[in-house]
Chains A and B, each alone.
Chain A
């Protein structure tokens, strides 16, 4: 960062001494009033028509350098990560916290150093972050174009340090002839959202704090901006979902939508004359009832709880109301729906082409990454439904995995003993349907 105020020059290099410099400037001062003000020390700068710039007098230079230092010290003293971006999108100034973040998480969370282009960094992120990076880039462009004064959005990413959630705030400032932007990044990964001390003051505070805590592990909700999340929170109720509960039958009206925290819900489709077959699986990475976002209020599949745990739910009407007013919620939902579609299409192909043992391994891994423990309760009957095979087939596959010491299966309780071994035994589909950010916290 140059301490010199931008746009002002300090005269020729050979003019070193202050007196000589002033003498040199004096030549430019024309007119009696100008000269008088100059002699009495009331002048800060003199225009130089030859270079088309303002030449600052030594006192003004010192004061401006001092104020630049003051600004830098003030930025450094701020607890958040702050950087200043010029009209072209280049990072021109960073504070101490920002630099420390760049050093710790190279590249993650748009952590780039001075001289790098922020808009280019937004284009270079991984596929999982691109939806957030695009939103940040669009907001920054609007601020730099002067179309809006302030922009705020959430950003979720995976880094070497695990799953991270940030809030980006971008504010326009008057810069050197063009609008600059101040970007503030706040790490909200560990935030207890509305449950934070002092965060709530009304009588329902403790109930909402409990719901906030129950909702906290859900990644779809974690990706929402605080304001939109808090609006949803008001309509949430905490529910315990038990193994075997049916949330919707196919064709039924979806009265509520569910956001799992530490439970797993399977989507099953029933074909006449056959057993139910699992076609999808959702845990804390998403929600049950996302079809509402497509404008359809009935369930297309049976939603069956297959891992007991906690979830929060909200009435479909309330959810739709929030959905219509929140572009970030729409975005998060589209993102999730796309991931679910990927999972469903892959499962369809997997059921046709892969053996029961590899499919069982994949299914156990998918369940494991959504549950808080590596031990869960499942009957063979249930597993047969999940995989679309007869009970005997499940028994054989489970025994084969047990023989390899990958799992233990006793009276309906499955324990995963060797995660890596099970990944090797699973078909390649697991790597395709694996949800980023799930494995980090479990």
Chain B
């Protein structure tokens, strides 16, 4: 029974104390990149409060960093941890797909 409960807790998403580590790849101040930053920050404020770490990588300044991380297009958001790793592409205006990729649900602000 105990094993089953743990498995259920795992399935409903990350525990409250887990910090979501993300990396957002952008192209300078290009329009979709600016939108992606604003959209992601709004999502984080609403759903993650302080429980996240976000790194923003400008591919114009650090192209090799993006290539090494397997990034093909920007803007591109990668969830680094908790696993499994996931990826969302575009200006992140579709909140639902961003939340899904981050392992969160639209209805549960932390």
Contact = CB atoms under 8 A, between A and B. Distances in A.
Interface in B26-72: 26-33, 59-64, 66-67, 71-72
A344 interface: no
Interface string A1-39: 000011110000000000000000000111101101110
Interface stretch (B7-15, B16-24, B83-91): B83-91
Interface string A320-337: 000000000000000000
Contacts of A33: 87-89
A49 B73 CA distance: 11
Nearest to A42: B90
Interface residues of B, number: 27
Nearest to B97: A33
Contacts of B62: 177
A442 interface: no
A34 B75 contact: no
B78 interface: no
Contacts of B75: 42-44
A424 interface: no
Interface string A36-61: 11101111111101001110100110
Given A40-B90, A47-B59, A47-B66, A64 B29 contact: yes
Given A7-B60, A44-B33, A34 B74 contact: no
A8 B73 CA distance: 13
A177 B65 CA distance: 11
A5 B28 contact: yes
Contacts of B32: 41-44, 60
Contact of A43 (B60, B61, B63, B90): B90
Contact of A44 (B30, B67, B71, B87): B30
Contacts of A405: none
Most A Cβ at <10 Å: residue of B27, B90, B91: B27
Contact of A54 (B31, B74, B87, B93): B74
A8 B26 CA distance: 12
Contacts of A7: 60-61, 63
Given A33-B89, A63-B30, A52 B74 contact: no
Contacts of B89: 33-34, 36-37, 42-43
B29 to A, nearest CB: 5
Contact of A38 (B28, B30, B67, B73): B73
A45 B59 contact: yes
Given A7-B63, A42-B32, A52-B63, A60 B27 contact: yes
A145 to B, nearest CB: 18
A404 to B, nearest CB: 71
A122 to B, nearest CB: 28
A45 B31 contact: no
A28 B72 CA distance: 8
B60 A6 contact: yes
Contact of A176 (B30, B61, B90): B61
Contacts of A46: 72-74
Contacts of B88: 33
Contact of A45 (B74, B87, B90): B74
A54 B60 contact: yes
Nearest to A8: B60
A67 interface: yes
Given A30-B72, A37-B90, A63 B59 contact: no
B31 A44 contact: yes
Contacts of B31: 44, 59-60, 63
B58 to A, nearest CB: 8
Contacts of B63: 7, 47, 52-54
A2 to B, nearest CB: 13
A306 to B, nearest CB: 64
A29 B76 CA distance: 13
A179 to B, nearest CB: 12
A5 B67 contact: no
A43 B36 CA distance: 10
Contacts of B27: 8, 44-45, 54, 56, 60, 64
Contacts of B71: 47
Nearest to A34: B73
B69 to A, nearest CB: 10
A5 B62 CA distance: 13
Contacts of B59: 45, 47, 54
Given A33-B89, A47-B67, 7 more contacts: A5-B60, A28-B72, A30-B72, A34-B73, A44-B30, A46-B72, A64-B28
28 contacts: A5-B60, A7-B61, A8-B27, A31-B72, A33-B87, A34-B73, A37-B73, A41-B32, A42-B89, A42-B91, A43-B89, A44-B31, A44-B32, A44-B74, A45-B27, A45-B30, A45-B74, A46-B74, A47-B59, A47-B74, A49-B67, A52-B67, A56-B27, A60-B27, A63-B30, A64-B29, A176-B61, A177-B62
Nearest 3 pairs between A and B by C-beta? A42-B90, A60-B30, A44-B30
